[in-house]
Protein backbone atom coordinates (compact mmCIF):
# COMPACT_ATOMS: atom_id res chain seq x y z
CA UNK A 1 0.00 0.00 0.00
CA UNK A 2 1.18 3.50 -0.84
CA UNK A 3 0.97 6.27 1.75
CA UNK A 4 0.34 9.90 0.92
CA UNK A 5 2.24 12.02 3.43
CA UNK A 6 0.48 15.39 3.45
CA UNK A 7 2.10 18.67 4.53
CA UNK A 8 0.74 22.21 4.20
CA UNK A 9 0.63 25.64 5.82
CA UNK A 10 -3.17 25.72 5.70
CA UNK A 11 -3.87 25.05 9.38
CA UNK A 12 -6.88 23.03 10.50
CA UNK A 13 -9.32 25.83 11.30
CA UNK A 14 -10.33 26.12 7.64
CA UNK A 15 -11.76 23.53 5.29
CA UNK A 16 -8.85 23.28 2.85
CA UNK A 17 -7.21 20.15 4.29
CA UNK A 18 -10.51 18.28 4.42
CA UNK A 19 -11.36 19.10 0.82
CA UNK A 20 -7.94 18.07 -0.50
CA UNK A 21 -8.13 14.75 1.36
CA UNK A 22 -11.64 14.21 0.01
CA UNK A 23 -10.30 14.65 -3.53
CA UNK A 24 -7.58 12.08 -2.87
CA UNK A 25 -10.11 9.58 -1.51
CA UNK A 26 -12.55 10.12 -4.40
CA UNK A 27 -9.80 9.16 -6.83
CA UNK A 28 -8.33 6.32 -4.76
CA UNK A 29 -10.64 5.28 -1.90
CA UNK A 30 -8.09 2.82 -0.59
CA UNK A 31 -5.17 5.22 -0.19
CA UNK A 32 -3.96 5.97 3.33
CA UNK A 33 -3.27 9.65 3.99
CA UNK A 34 -0.93 10.58 6.83
CA UNK A 35 -0.82 14.19 7.97
CA UNK A 36 2.76 15.28 8.62
CA UNK A 37 1.58 18.72 9.74
CA UNK A 38 -0.62 21.53 8.49
CA UNK A 39 0.90 24.09 10.85
CA UNK A 40 3.90 25.19 8.81
CA UNK A 41 4.27 28.94 9.34
CA UNK A 42 2.31 30.53 6.47
CA UNK A 43 4.39 30.83 3.28
CA UNK A 44 7.53 29.52 5.04
CA UNK A 45 9.04 27.23 2.42
CA UNK A 46 12.30 26.96 4.38
CA UNK A 47 10.48 25.46 7.36
CA UNK A 48 8.67 23.05 5.02
CA UNK A 49 12.03 22.12 3.46
CA UNK A 50 13.51 21.20 6.84
CA UNK A 51 10.39 19.37 8.06
CA UNK A 52 10.43 17.24 4.91
CA UNK A 53 14.11 16.45 5.44
CA UNK A 54 13.41 15.23 8.97
CA UNK A 55 10.28 13.23 8.24
CA UNK A 56 11.36 11.54 4.99
CA UNK A 57 13.53 8.81 6.58
CA UNK A 58 10.70 7.63 8.85
CA UNK A 59 8.37 6.80 5.95
CA UNK A 60 8.67 3.66 3.81
CA UNK A 61 9.96 3.78 0.25
CA UNK A 62 7.10 4.35 -2.15
CA UNK A 63 5.51 7.09 -0.03
CA UNK A 64 4.06 10.05 -1.96
CA UNK A 65 4.95 13.31 -0.23
CA UNK A 66 2.34 15.93 -1.15
CA UNK A 67 3.77 19.22 0.11
CA UNK A 68 1.76 22.39 -0.51
CA UNK A 69 3.37 25.52 0.93
CA UNK A 70 2.72 27.65 -2.10
CA UNK A 71 2.95 31.42 -1.79
CA UNK A 72 3.22 31.61 -5.60
CA UNK A 73 0.02 29.72 -6.37
CA UNK A 74 -1.49 30.87 -9.67
CA UNK A 75 1.74 32.52 -10.86
CA UNK A 76 4.46 31.33 -13.22
CA UNK A 77 6.00 28.89 -10.72
CA UNK A 78 5.61 25.32 -11.96
CA UNK A 79 3.72 22.40 -10.37
CA UNK A 80 5.91 19.30 -10.42
CA UNK A 81 6.04 15.63 -9.48
CA UNK A 82 9.31 13.85 -8.78
CA UNK A 83 10.18 10.17 -8.62
CA UNK A 84 13.21 9.30 -6.49
CA UNK A 85 15.45 6.29 -7.01
CA UNK A 86 14.18 4.72 -3.76
CA UNK A 87 10.64 4.61 -5.17
CA UNK A 88 9.21 7.55 -3.24
CA UNK A 89 7.55 10.56 -4.88
CA UNK A 90 7.40 14.32 -4.26
CA UNK A 91 4.43 16.38 -5.44
CA UNK A 92 4.13 20.14 -5.02
CA UNK A 93 5.15 23.55 -6.32
CA UNK A 94 8.65 24.04 -7.73
CA UNK A 95 9.64 26.70 -5.20
CA UNK A 96 12.61 25.15 -3.38
CA UNK A 97 10.69 23.13 -0.80
CA UNK A 98 12.35 19.92 -2.00
CA UNK A 99 15.92 21.32 -1.99
CA UNK A 100 17.38 19.09 0.74
CA UNK A 101 15.64 15.95 -0.50
CA UNK A 102 17.06 16.55 -3.99
CA UNK A 103 20.52 16.78 -2.44
CA UNK A 104 20.25 13.68 -0.27
CA UNK A 105 18.29 11.28 -2.50
CA UNK A 106 18.94 10.60 -6.20
CA UNK A 107 16.20 11.83 -8.54
CA UNK A 108 14.97 9.36 -11.15
CA UNK A 109 12.72 11.75 -13.06
CA UNK A 110 10.82 15.01 -12.69
CA UNK A 111 7.74 16.03 -14.66
CA UNK A 112 5.82 19.23 -15.13
CA UNK A 113 2.15 18.77 -14.20
CA UNK A 114 0.38 19.88 -17.38
CA UNK A 115 -2.16 17.19 -18.25
CA UNK A 116 -5.61 18.56 -17.31
CA UNK A 117 -7.16 15.09 -17.49
CA UNK A 118 -5.24 14.23 -14.31
CA UNK A 119 -6.52 17.28 -12.41
CA UNK A 120 -9.63 17.46 -10.24
CA UNK A 121 -11.01 20.22 -12.45
CA UNK A 122 -10.12 20.80 -16.10
CA UNK A 123 -9.70 24.49 -15.32
CA UNK A 124 -7.94 24.61 -11.93
CA UNK A 125 -8.60 27.44 -9.52
CA UNK A 126 -5.93 30.13 -9.52
CA UNK A 127 -5.77 29.95 -5.72
CA UNK A 128 -6.29 26.28 -4.82
CA UNK A 129 -3.84 24.10 -6.72
CA UNK A 130 -3.68 21.93 -3.61
CA UNK A 131 -7.18 20.69 -4.36
CA UNK A 132 -7.18 20.86 -8.14
CA UNK A 133 -3.65 19.69 -9.07
CA UNK A 134 -1.49 18.36 -6.23
CA UNK A 135 -4.10 16.26 -4.39
CA UNK A 136 -5.44 14.45 -7.50
CA UNK A 137 -1.98 13.86 -8.94
CA UNK A 138 -0.81 12.40 -5.61
CA UNK A 139 -3.83 10.08 -5.57
CA UNK A 140 -3.25 8.94 -9.15
CA UNK A 141 0.42 8.21 -8.43
CA UNK A 142 -0.75 6.06 -5.49
CA UNK A 143 -2.71 4.00 -8.06
CA UNK A 144 0.46 3.27 -10.02
CA UNK A 145 -0.03 5.77 -12.85
CA UNK A 146 3.45 6.62 -14.24
CA UNK A 147 4.74 10.19 -14.08
CA UNK A 148 4.89 10.52 -17.87
CA UNK A 149 1.08 10.58 -17.85
CA UNK A 150 1.07 13.94 -16.05
CA UNK A 151 3.31 15.99 -18.32
CA UNK A 152 6.74 16.41 -19.93
CA UNK A 153 9.99 15.47 -18.21
CA UNK A 154 12.09 18.42 -17.04
CA UNK A 155 15.68 18.53 -15.81
CA UNK A 156 15.81 21.72 -13.78
CA UNK A 157 14.12 22.74 -10.53
CA UNK A 158 14.31 25.53 -7.97
CA UNK A 159 16.54 25.29 -4.89
CA UNK A 160 17.04 27.41 -1.78
CA UNK A 161 20.33 28.67 -0.37
CA UNK A 162 21.40 27.09 2.92
CA UNK A 163 24.08 28.04 5.44
CA UNK A 164 25.85 24.68 5.37
CA UNK A 165 26.95 23.19 8.71
CA UNK A 166 30.68 23.50 9.22
CA UNK A 167 33.28 22.50 11.81
CA UNK A 168 36.40 24.66 12.05
CA UNK A 169 38.86 25.08 14.93
CA UNK A 170 36.52 23.68 17.60
CA UNK A 171 33.67 25.86 16.37
CA UNK A 172 30.50 24.59 14.69
CA UNK A 173 28.37 26.87 12.54
CA UNK A 174 24.99 26.35 10.93
CA UNK A 175 21.55 27.95 10.82
CA UNK A 176 18.12 27.76 12.43
CA UNK A 177 15.89 25.29 10.62
CA UNK A 178 12.66 26.07 12.53
CA UNK A 179 11.27 26.34 16.05
CA UNK A 180 8.79 23.77 17.34
CA UNK A 181 5.67 24.46 19.42
CA UNK A 182 7.69 24.23 22.65
CA UNK A 183 10.03 26.98 21.45
CA UNK A 184 12.91 24.56 20.95
CA UNK A 185 15.35 25.87 18.33
CA UNK A 186 15.97 23.18 15.72
CA UNK A 187 19.18 23.64 13.74
CA UNK A 188 20.52 22.18 10.52
CA UNK A 189 23.68 20.98 12.31
CA UNK A 190 24.03 17.18 12.31
CA UNK A 191 24.41 15.87 15.85
CA UNK A 192 27.45 13.89 14.71
CA UNK A 193 29.42 17.15 14.56
CA UNK A 194 29.07 17.44 18.34
CA UNK A 195 31.14 14.26 18.62
CA UNK A 196 34.18 16.30 17.64
CA UNK A 197 33.86 18.20 20.92
CA UNK A 198 34.14 14.93 22.90
CA UNK A 199 31.49 16.25 25.26
CA UNK A 200 30.59 14.73 28.59
CA UNK A 201 27.20 15.31 30.27
CA UNK A 202 27.25 18.70 31.95
CA UNK A 203 30.01 20.20 29.81
CA UNK A 204 29.54 23.92 29.14
CA UNK A 205 29.04 25.33 25.66
CA UNK A 206 28.79 28.82 24.23
CA UNK A 207 26.08 29.73 21.72
CA UNK A 208 26.33 32.81 19.50
CA UNK A 209 23.12 33.72 17.72
CA UNK A 210 21.77 36.94 16.25
CA UNK A 211 24.74 38.88 17.64
CA UNK A 212 24.32 37.66 21.22
CA UNK A 213 26.21 35.06 23.26
CA UNK A 214 24.64 32.56 25.66
CA UNK A 215 25.97 29.97 28.10
CA UNK A 216 24.55 26.48 27.67
CA UNK A 217 25.10 22.95 28.96
CA UNK A 218 25.38 19.68 27.07
CA UNK A 219 22.90 17.03 28.23
CA UNK A 220 20.98 14.44 26.23
CA UNK A 221 17.68 14.84 28.12
CA UNK A 222 15.79 17.97 29.16
CA UNK A 223 15.23 16.90 32.77
CA UNK A 224 18.93 16.50 33.51
CA UNK A 225 19.45 20.20 34.16
CA UNK A 226 17.79 22.87 36.23
CA UNK A 227 14.59 24.56 35.14
CA UNK A 228 15.40 27.54 32.94
CA UNK A 229 18.88 26.37 31.92
CA UNK A 230 19.82 26.31 28.23
CA UNK A 231 20.44 22.85 26.84
CA UNK A 232 22.29 21.68 23.71
CA UNK A 233 21.82 18.10 22.53
CA UNK A 234 21.03 15.90 19.55
CA UNK A 235 17.29 15.65 18.88
CA UNK A 236 15.32 12.57 17.83
CA UNK A 237 15.94 13.33 14.14
CA UNK A 238 19.70 13.50 14.56
CA UNK A 239 20.19 17.27 14.51
CA UNK A 240 21.44 19.69 17.14
CA UNK A 241 18.63 21.19 19.19
CA UNK A 242 18.79 24.15 21.58
CA UNK A 243 16.21 24.07 24.35
CA UNK A 244 15.39 25.59 27.72
CA UNK A 245 14.28 23.10 30.36
CA UNK A 246 10.57 23.77 30.94
CA UNK A 247 10.98 27.03 29.07
CA UNK A 248 10.99 28.54 25.59
CA UNK A 249 14.40 28.75 23.91
CA UNK A 250 13.10 30.92 21.07
CA UNK A 251 11.93 33.60 23.52
CA UNK A 252 15.06 33.38 25.67
CA UNK A 253 17.60 33.47 22.85
CA UNK A 254 15.76 35.42 20.16
CA UNK A 255 13.13 37.44 22.00
CA UNK A 256 9.40 37.37 21.37
CA UNK A 257 9.04 40.24 18.91
CA UNK A 258 8.20 38.11 15.89
CA UNK A 259 11.77 37.95 14.60
CA UNK A 260 12.27 36.28 11.24
CA UNK A 261 14.33 33.19 12.06
CA UNK A 262 15.05 32.22 8.46
CA UNK A 263 18.78 31.86 7.82
CA UNK A 264 19.85 33.14 11.25
CA UNK A 265 23.33 31.73 11.80
CA UNK A 266 24.34 29.74 14.88
CA UNK A 267 27.81 29.22 16.30
CA UNK A 268 28.59 26.58 18.94
CA UNK A 269 31.86 26.54 20.89
CA UNK A 270 33.13 24.24 23.60
CA UNK A 271 34.13 26.31 26.64
Give the tens place of pLDDT for each residue, 204-247.
999 998 888 999 999 888 888 889 999 999 999 999 999 999 99
pLDDT at 271: 78
C-alpha to C-alpha distances, 183 to 6, 178, 200, 248, 267, nearest whole angstrom: 23, 9, 25, 5, 19
- Where in the chain is CATH 3.40.50.10790? 3-154
Fold of 166-270: Elongation Factor Tu (Ef-tu); domain 3 (2.40.30)
Does the structure show a pLDDT above 90 at 33? yes
- Where in the chain is CATH 2.40.30.90? 166-270
Which of 98-102, 144-148, 200-204, 220-224 bottoms out in mean pLDDT, i.e. has the lowest? 220-224
Instruction: For 113-127, write each residue's pLDDT tens digit.
Output: 999 989 888 777 777
Does the structure show a pLDDT above 70 at 1? no
pLDDT at 74: 63
The DSSP symbol for 246 reads T
β strands within 69-184, DSSP E? 79-84, 89-93, 107-112, 153-154, 166-168, 171-179
pLDDT at 30: 95
Does the structure show a pLDDT above 80 at 72? no
pLDDT at 123: 78
pLDDT at 217: 93
Mean pLDDT of 90-103: 96
Q: Is the domain defined by 3-154 classed in CATH 3.40.50.10790?
A: yes
Task: Write phi, then psi, for 163 (nearest 5 degrees).
Answer: -80, 95
Q: Give the number of other CB atoms < 10 A from CB of residue 1.
A: 8
The DSSP symbol for 130 reads I
Amino acid sequence: MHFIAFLTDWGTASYYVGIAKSVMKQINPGVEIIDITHDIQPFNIREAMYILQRTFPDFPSGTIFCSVVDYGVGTERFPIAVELINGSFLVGPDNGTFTLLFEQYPVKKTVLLQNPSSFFRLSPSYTFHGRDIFAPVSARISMGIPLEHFGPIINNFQTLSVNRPNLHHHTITGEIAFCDRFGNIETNIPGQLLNNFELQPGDPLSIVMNGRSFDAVFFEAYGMLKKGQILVHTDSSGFVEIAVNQGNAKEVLLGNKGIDINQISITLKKN
